[in-house]
Amino acid sequence: MRFLKVLLWLLLGGVIAGFVIYNGEQRVSIQLWGGLVADISLPLLLIVVFLAGFLPMLVAYQTLRWRMRQRFAGLERALADLRAIPATPAPRFEPVAEPVAIEEPRA
């Protein structure tokens, strides 16, 4: 599984590098507030926009994983504590014979 993860990152890096090489000269004008105009290269703009969307989701995902690990660790500790308590065997009940009715002699 780790191999696939590394392969995915290498492919993504290759795609980004190819995009930057073939589109590095293209410039994009962005209208900002107050009449300001920013002239920025297209690959840099796309990388910044991608990271602006990707990083918050990555942080949320890592936070969720951390919280789940903490919760599982607490549950495992509680389970270990419960397993450490010696279990008392259930009390054995001896079957009691049904009382036999004894008839008294009639006089």
Domain that holds residue 56: 22-83
Res 98: pLDDT: 78
* 57 belongs to a structural domain: yes
The residue assigned the tokens 């392969």 is 7
The closest of 5, 26, 25 to 13, measured between CA atoms, is 5
* 28 belongs to a structural domain: yes
The β-bridge partners of 39 are 29
* 1 belongs to a structural domain: no
* 71 belongs to a structural domain: yes
The total number of structural domains that make up the chain: 1
Res 24: pLDDT: 78
* 62 belongs to a structural domain: yes
Question: pLDDT tens for residues 8-67?
Answer: 999 988 988 888 888 878 888 889 898 899 898 888 888 899 899 999 999 999 999 999
Question: pLDDT tens for residues 73-100?
Answer: 999 999 999 888 887 777 787 777 777 7
Contacts of 27 (CB under 8 A, 6+ apart): 39, 40, 41, 42
